[in-house]
Structure 1
Amino acid sequence: MRIDKLLAHSGFGSRKEVKELIKKGIVIVNGEKIKKDKIHVDPMRDEIWVDDQQIIYEEHVYYMLNKPAGYVSATEDKLYPTVVELIDDYYRDDLFPVGRLDVDTEGLLIMTNDGVLAHQLLSPKKHCPKVYYAKIKGVVNENDIQKFLKGIVINDDYQCQSAHLKIISTTSTESEIEVEIYEGKFHQVKKMFLAVGKEVTYLKRIRMKDLELDNSLELGAYRRLTDEELDRLKDESVLQ
């Protein structure tokens, strides 16, 4: 990898800013000052310092984000700000969200640059469970639970996989529920409830596989995944 690209990926500024650092002679590779930004280094083997800070390169990074409404789950968009913009301590250009949450949906979103893990979590063949908390306009009842178990038909012809619907509370006009699904169709949870004559008024993802949203994270906040959390995400034995 070129040294200027490595330093830019490690948070030392733009390529132009990194070139200025190199020209100042404060970038040290294996004990020697370098003056050229085009040299190639092995970030896993070479010892690289900028001033008194050693560069520890990470091939993959993993974040848990509590997505707020108003942000689109994409790397770029012409209408809305993107979830990538919320990760302000990350300077690489390969970060992306694992799957999508609707622009008005909140909650757990994994952000990474690991395409293998993303495929493992998103592939329909893997049956990765996703759990949502929702407020529903209308009274959700046992009949709805059985319909979800059987498989709701959306988009006129697509039958969703069996879903587990749990009623948390109900009033005469509104219900609070949790629902576990194994797919990620566009507006799927909203369409499933529309199919039984009810409307989702608030939606929040609270779990993906067995990774639960950290309730200490404010909306828009994020943190690195712990090693234990990452190991569980990568453990395919947890999947169906």
Structure 2
Amino acid sequence: MRLDKFLAEASVGTRKDVRNYIKEGKVKVNDEVIIKAYLEIDENKDVITYLDDVVMHSGRVYYMFNKPAGYITARKDEFSKTVFDFFHEENSEGIFHVGRLDKDTEGLLLFTNDGDFNNNLMCPEKHVKKRYFFIALGFLDETKINLLESGISIGEDEDITKPAKLDNVECKDYGYFNETTNVSKFYSMEPSRYDAPVVSGYLTISEGRKHQVKRMLKAAGCYVIYLKRISIGDLSLDETLEMGQYRALTENEINSVLRKS
């Protein structure tokens, strides 16, 4: 196996990242610094180190992706671009998205080829928490917040939602949000209506129903105009990732999910 492929599959970094690490002399094979990414190694016999730490190859990969709005969470789509358009071909082989985000929703999306990792995060019985930042037309008073947190009906033939958590709720008018967050990027409004109520905050849920955050807020009289997923379980979006960028998860991040099996 090529050295750069080995390191990428071991989640040291993307193929591009590990090639740079190799050029910088950070990788050794059998205690010898190697600067050729294409070197063929025996992954079963050779000892590979990165920054003098032994690299174990499992064949499994894990990526954190900062999803931009406007892309479908799917491998292919007949009419729209998809999140896989951002992945290098060598990094996308065999991986799949862990859960999904709506086309117009931004933020944390995970990819892997490890079924156990996916199950630990997405299995309904696990009740993994997912935290979202939202901006919505409307307002939330104490009564509505209590309703959202205790459970709210979002469909005639569905159970009420499980307990949720709202925090950092801020209720102002559209004009205020347009000045502070340039909300007109997501939803434009005539200046004569700048006094319309707008609310922002963080909503944490432990379910994964379709359009759940939007439907919960709609049931409370609010219309979501911006939504971003911030975290899944113990994994938080790396804010240094620009929109459309991805990176391999660290060993600690991977273990934080797998040890909960």
Q: TM-score range by the shorter chain?
A: 0.7 to 0.9
Matches for 1:42-61 after TM superposition, within 5 Å? 44-45=43-44, 58-61=58-61
* Contact kept? 2:132, 2:202, Cα under 8 Å: yes
| Structure 2 letter corresponding to 1:232 | S
Counterpart in the other structure of 2:240: 216
Counterpart residue identity of residue 228, structure 2 = K
Residue 161 of structure 2 aligns with which residue? Answer: 160
What letter matches 2:155 in structure 1? N
Figure out how many residues of one structure are paired with residues of the other and give that number.
Answer: 198
Give the C-alpha shift of residue 234 in structure 1: 1.9
Identity %: 37
The 1-side partners of 2:172 and 2:39 are apart by: 64
What RMSD, in angstroms, separates the aligned Cα atoms of the two structures?
2.6
Letter in 2 for 1:130: K
Distance 1:59 1:27 in 2: 18
Distance 1:178 1:77, change over 3 A: same
Contact 2:162–2:206 (8 Å) recurs in 1: yes
Amino acid in the other structure paired with 1:66: N
The TM-score normalised by the length of structure 1 is 0.74
**Distance apart, 1:182 and its partner CA:** 0.7
Higher relative contact order (CA 8 A, sep 6+): 2
Return the alpha-carbon distance in structure 2 between the equivalents of residues 28 and 68 of structure 1: 37
CA offsets 1:90-145 (integer angstroms, 9 cap, x no match): 34531111001000000001111111110110011000000000001111121121
SS of 1:193's partner is helix
Equivalences for residues 46-195 of structure 1 within 5 A: 58-88=58-88, 90-158=90-158, 159-172=160-173, 173-195=197-219
* 1:15 aligned partner: none
Unaligned runs of 5+ in 2: 10-14, 16-37, 47-55, 174-196
Q: Distance in 1 between matches of 2:222 and 2:255?
A: 38
Correspondence 1:197-216 to 2 at 5 A: 197-216=221-240
TM-score (norm 2): 0.68
3-state SS, counterpart of residue 125 of structure 2 = helix
Residue 59 (structure 1) shift: 1.1
The verdict on how the C-alpha distance between 1:111 and 1:176 changes in structure 2, with shifts beyond 3 A counting, is same
Q: Is the 8 A contact 1:167 1:175 kept in 2?
A: no
**Aligned letter for 2:256?**
R
Tell me, in whole angstroms, the C-alpha distance in 2 between the residues paired with 1:230 and 1:28: 27
Name structure 1 gaps, 5 residues minimum.
12-25, 31-43, 48-55
Moved over 4 A (4+): 26-30
Letter in 1 for 2:146: Q
Question: Secondary structure in 1 aligned to 2:99?
Answer: coil
